[in-house]
Structure 1
């Protein structure tokens, strides 16, 4: 059986099926005192580039953001990244996801 950190890493890097990874994580308690895995700006940037390059569709990207958005066992590099995850998780509130917008986010993450 894989440990929680391995599953979180696969989820962050989107290596595998989101639903399967989410199910694997469901065996662990939701609440946790401190995060076990930190999402780097590089991790997010690489994932967005995969979507820009049509390796990941926008629906999958939205589902991914929804799964990681409020997890206690994950930490974001900064507040801007947290806002970006929220934007991606709720296109119906924050506006449609487009390749152009994803590229803007990638460029902002470099700053």
Structure 2
């Protein structure tokens, strides 16, 4: 039996927001089973805008964004803000797969941020 230090919902929220304990949370959440019966955190437009702002400021690079989106893509324990679920899910897919979509650069991040603001 596993002993968990942090609640799974706190872990997925910290990962989705690339919080201060992001790396530790990514390791710790892997102790939980992949399948989850419910969505424990809902990624919001504001979460994405915050990540985009951190990219634009140089705090996060394109590899960090790709790895983050790849980690979030298709998780059972992560949902998306209800009014914008399709759009946010599409953006995570786009960012998680730059080889088949678009390179993650300032132009792309600015375009995605503008799309979010227009929602």
TM-score, normalised to structure 2, is: 0.87
Once superposed, what is the RMSD of the aligned Cα atoms?
1.3
Shift of 1:20: 2.9
Unaligned runs of 5+ in 2: none
Do the aligned partners of residues 63 and 18 (structure 1) sit closer, same or farther apart at CA in structure 2, a change above 3 Å counting? farther
Answer 1 or 2: higher relative contact order, Cα 8 Å, separation at least 6. Answer: 1
Larger Rg: 2
Aligned to 1:81: 88
Q: What's the CA shift string for 1:33-58, capped at 9, x where partnerless?
A: 22010001111111111101111010
**Which residue pairs with 1:95 in the alignment?**
102
4+ runs deviating over 4 angstroms: none
Identify unmatched segments of 5+ residues in structure 1: none
Aligned length: 111
